[in-house]
Amino acid sequence: MALTVKRAFKFRFYPTPEQAEELARTFGCVRLVYNQALRERSRAYALEGRRISFVESSAALTAWKRTDELAFLNEVSSVPLQQALRHLQAAFANFFAKRARYPTFKSRKKSRASAEYTRSAFKYHDGQITLAKINGPLNVVWSRPLPEGARPSTVTVSKDAAGRWFVSILCQDTIHPLNPTGEAIGLDAGITALVTLSRPIPGVSDTDGKVANPRHERADRRRLARAQRALARKKKGSINRRKAKLTLARLHARIGDRRRDFLHKITTSIVRENQVVAIEDLAVRNLMKNHSLARAICDASWRELRTMLEYKAQWYGRELLVVDRWFPSSKLCSACGVIARSMPLNVRTWECVCGAIHDRDVNAAKNILAAGLAER
């Protein structure tokens, strides 16, 4: 049965100097409105013990526009400003539901520069997008087509630290499930091998079922170090420092893009080939507290790997099984079921009392699959 989902399609675009200036002004106004509304909400709760609703914040925005100090807010589209208030409302809803921390102020230097436009503030026709109060259509590089008959509900324009402009188009998409395969596989995440599979998949893993970890950050570590040292030598506020910062940001963007592309290819292949996928529920945040492994774990990006498996399994009609993090997958013999007393990380191969010789990671992947199937 086909699945209809809201899906965001992200594309690069190249604004004209005039468009870039207008969008930068919009980003600044969005940030100002968000911070001003957050300040008012915090003040009202601290001094008066009351909560400010979205309707009150929206009325306050109208009042701000009428003042001489903030009259410049009228120069940009009102929709991104209203959307900033909605995002703040959602942030507070998550905070009161204990799903997130208290909202923080947006920084000009560190926060993501973006503006969200709803249908009343943009036009999409014949492959062209025009935004309210922005002259001319955006020069979008359509790297892939939108779904047939797509009617975008929101358009989000953003600029990353590397100076690249993106437009994210949210629309309805119909995804058809893949044909059932009847295959099941277990995954064990690691550092030397990014993932170890309970059985090898041709073109994805080697004959032992291991998918090599590209270590994208480690491969560019020297270039990163040089760029960071060059940035540290530049005078704060200078044009050369701005250039050095941009060079460093581009290196990080390159690493992130390559890592994301690799994870997409691996997870798509795994989901296509298997009807059931079993993984371990790793506490990545706790593992990151180990300063000897934190950098390697961050480079492996286990959290993003799991996220991709979760939504792709849902999209394509696959079943994702999650095994408890305390399950002794490495110490349990997949042949006889005996649990070894200890299993230090430096032990990569071990022999069970039954005589079976195990590769630590392959054995763990097999146990994860068995445990996942047993808990269905």
> What are the pLDDT digits (tens) for 282-298?
888 888 888 888 999 99
Give me the residues of the chain with pLDDT under 70, please: none
Whether the Cβ atoms of residue 325 and residue 283 lie closer than 8 Å to each other? yes
Active site residue 188: yes
User: What is the distance between the alpha carbons of residues 102 and 268, in angstroms, rounded to a whole number?
Assistant: 36
Residue among 121, 146, 169, 141 at smallest CA distance from 14 = 141
pLDDT given for residue 245 in this prediction: 95
Report pTM.
Answer: 0.89
Active site residue 280: yes
Q: Are strands 3-12 and 165-175 parallel, antiparallel or unpaired?
A: antiparallel
pLDDT given for residue 101 in this prediction: 94
Whether the Cβ atoms of residue 238 and residue 230 lie closer than 8 Å to each other? no
Active site residue 220: no
Among 22, 116, 299, 361, which one carries the catalytic annotation? 361
pLDDT given for residue 344 in this prediction: 85
CB atoms within 10 A of CB 293: 14
Among 188, 217, 273, 299, which one carries the catalytic annotation? 188
Which residues 6+ apart lie within 8 Å of 172 measured at CB? 4, 5, 6, 7, 147, 150, 151, 153
pLDDT given for residue 93 in this prediction: 95
pLDDT given for residue 353 in this prediction: 85
Among 22, 217, 273, 280, which one carries the catalytic annotation? 280
